Amino acid sequence: MSEILQISQLGNPGLRRQSQVVENIQDDRIQKLIDNLIATVKQANGVGIAAPQAAQCDRLFIVASRPNLRYPHAPQMEPTAMINPRIIASSTETAKDWEGCLSVPGIRGLVPRSRAIEIEYTSRDGKLYRQELTDFVARIFQHESDHLDGIIFLDRVESTQELMTEDEYQKQVVNLL
């Protein structure tokens, strides 16, 4: 049975640490953590969650893009655990879009990100994948990668004018899409 984990909130020093490379992917603790993170991100209507958000400093996160209440226009994909992820190349072309974070409830911010990235990660069964990601999924990957280095999306917002509450975001942005 998987367990819903408590999500660390902004201000928790655990969110600001550098995470460590996962040496043994088959370790029970890691496999259990993956199951629990998947259950937690689903329950919270997130599209991604990183280990440090559940007080574990392992370089792994879940990308779980799917349409939900917080992101009604997200593309559908199976929740995928990405272990020891790396960005190999990033497009110089960037785009700004609204992001939120399960560790920063109620706030959205406009964040510039590379539009396309070439990435590498190891799956939970130990296979190495190399992929090109674009747009929304590339944004999730960059947001979650930042968590592994102790960076929160608010650090990348260029102006406090580009912050909004979740309620305003739902009214002004989601309803217009």
**Catalytic residue numbers, as ranges:** 144
Binding span for Zn ion by CB under 5 A among 2-10, 63-71, 101-109, 123-131: 101-109
Residue 143 CB, shortest distance to Zn ion, in Å, is 6
Residue 26 CB, shortest distance to Zn ion, in Å, is 27
Binding span for Zn ion by CB under 5 A among 35-43, 68-76, 100-108, 112-120: 100-108
For residue 10, give both structure tokens: 């902004």
Sign of CA dihedral 92, 96, 98, 101: positive
Question: Binding of Zn ion at residue 157 (CB under 5 A)?
Answer: no
* Nearest CA among 53, 47, 116 for reference residue 87: 116
Instruction: Count the residues of the shown chain that bind Zn ion, applying the rule CB under 5 A.
Output: 1
Contacts of residue 93, defined as CB under 8 A and 6 or more positions apart, other chains included, come to: 114, 115, 116
Question: Binding of Zn ion at residue 101 (CB under 5 A)?
Answer: yes
Q: What gap in Å lies between CA 89 and CA 95, rounded to an integer?
A: 16
Residue 71 CB, shortest distance to Zn ion, in Å, is 13
Q: What gap in Å lies between CA 29 and CA 124, rounded to an integer?
A: 12
Binding span for Zn ion by CB under 5 A among 30-38, 57-65, 93-101, 106-114: 93-101
Residues that bind Zn ion (CB under 5 A): 101
